[in-house]
Amino acid sequence: MSIIVSKFGGTSLANGRQFLRVKDIILSNEDRKYIVASAPGKSNSEDTKVTDLLYLSYDLAKHKITFIDTLEKVFDKYKDIIKNANLDLDLSEYFNQLKIDLESGKDRDFIASRGEYLNAYILANLIGYDFVDAKDLIFFDENGNFDEKKSYNAIENMKKNHKNAVIPGFYGSMPKGNIKTFSRGGGDLTGSIISRGVKTDLYENWTDISGFMSADPRIVKNPNKIEVITYKELRELSYAGASVLHEEAIIPVTVAGIPIEIKNTFKPEEKGTLIVEDTFEKGLSEITGVSGKKHFSVINIEKVQMNKDKSFHRKLMSVLEVNGIYLEHMPSSIDSLSLIVADKYLTGKIDTLETEIKTLVNPDKISIKSNIALITVVGRGMINSVGTSAKLFTALAAAGVNINMIVQGASELNIIVGVEEKDYEKAINSIYDSFMN
Ligand code: ASP
């Protein structure tokens, strides 16, 4: 018998009706043995996520402002879930404790983690699975880094002792026992870690869409769904801006070669997107998807014969390093080089940066251009097809989009173009039309 790990996101567990759907999904396949639950998300567009309400309660309590009304909203959510899922469960003891924890100044991560803790507890009761706290399975070292060895040992033991379990997502514990959360959306990462730990055959990630789209539906009308995508392609697309899974979530499963399937709780019968290590299908389209982000700057540096100075790049990098700036890309020509960085790292630092670059590498010219959008076109099919770039640039030219810079990764998996922010949507649509329609 195989093992499936199923992670249910916030919208999948936002109210009692959703809980009943999730119950049906889980119990319809007895391989679904380990379940990871998020905190209740939004039931509708007016609603607020429980995690946000908990952060707000924490902030209010910290500033000695009454948090009771906000916390009551959290309690009401859970009471509503329990009632509408027809459960006989009394959580008043947990609610009282949470109130005391807030009054006594318990830390922020602990307070936020209660969202998933309570939701997983309710779900375990509803489906008759064991409840296993993530604090006993996911560990961080004293620097706050994920402690692989300790965590995977604990998860293996959990598998021996529990034939099935519901585990809260999003958090784990520090060496001294206090709770630490991952970054927002981190339940995906918990699912991935549990998947690797129990050596699952499949990691299902249940959300509110039927998979990963080949372009952002807010920009392209009715984009195609991607049926199969490789880990590497997904990393590129997610990093470039497409968000379905937490950016780091595929790392643990990639190491173990476990496939992930993105599924829709609202339409469980629909095929989702399968994320795999490699595929060998024939007749692949050149591109799998396109995504992008705004708010980048290009720092352009010109110096004749810069390649004759062995320390040129190192000095330049040291300026970025001491100013805490992460480099995205560095396209270059013989006598010029561009540093592409996110705008957020430059705020308040442009003058210092210019001065330091001038002092260290003495360029002939330096200029900074902001409001750049980076668009990444990703496709494992590019490797074997001639003319992908030509098609891409023709499409952009036909749409009247000026390209500021081009980067192609050596793996031939992606091409990145920089365009002005005002052309961003137009560029994405023209690329999509040219490759996908
Ligand atoms: N509840 C957390 C958040 O809202 C984590 C998650 O949903 O995965 O970010």
Closest C-alpha to ligand 1, atom 2: 185
Question: Is 281's pLDDT higher than 70?
Answer: no
Q: Is 190 left (phi over 0), alpha (psi -120 to 50) or beta?
A: alpha
Say what the alpha-carbon torsion angle 267, 29, 196, 107 is, to the nearest 10 degrees: 70
Per DSSP, the three-state class of 17 is helix
Higher pLDDT, 317 or 436: 317
Question: Is 374's pLDDT higher than 70?
Answer: yes
Closest C-alpha to ligand 1, atom 5: 185
Question: Is 390's pLDDT higher than 80?
Answer: yes
Domain 4-208 shares a fold with domain 289-436? no
Q: Express each pLDDT in 40-53 by its tens digit.
A: 999 998 999 999 99
Evaluate whether 98 touches 85 at the Cβ level (below 8 Å).
no
For residue 413, report the distance from its CA to the centre of ligand 1, in Å: 30
- Give the separation between CA 405 and CA 369, rounded to whole angstroms: 12
**Top mutation candidate among 7, 47, 49 for ligand 1, by most atoms within 8 Å of CB:** 49
Q: Express each pLDDT in 315-343 by its tens digit.
A: 999 999 999 999 999 998 889 999 999 99
For residue 349, report the distance from its CA to the centre of ligand 1, in Å: 32
Which architecture characterizes domain 4-208 according to CATH? 3-Layer(aba) Sandwich (3.40)
- What pTM does this model have? 0.86
For residue 368, report the distance from its CA to the centre of ligand 1, in Å: 37
Mean pLDDT of 204-229: 92
Q: Express each pLDDT in 50-108 by its tens digit.
A: 999 999 999 999 999 999 999 999 999 999 999 999 999 999 999 999 999 999 999 99
Evaluate whether 167 touches 137 at the Cβ level (below 8 Å).
yes
In the chain, domain spans:
4-208, 289-436
Name all residues whose Cβ lies below 6 A of ligand 1: 10, 38-39, 49, 51, 115, 169-170, 184-187
Q: Express each pLDDT in 101-152 by its tens digit.
A: 999 999 999 999 999 999 999 999 999 999 999 999 999 999 999 999 999 9
For the CA of 169, the nearest atom of ligand 1: 8
For residue 182, report the distance from its CA to the centre of ligand 1, in Å: 9
User: Which CATH number fits the domain 289-436, given the four candidates 3.30.450.20, 3.30.70.600, 3.30.2130.10, 2.60.40.60?
Assistant: 3.30.2130.10
Question: What pLDDT was estimated at residue 195?
Answer: 98
| Average pLDDT along the chain | 94
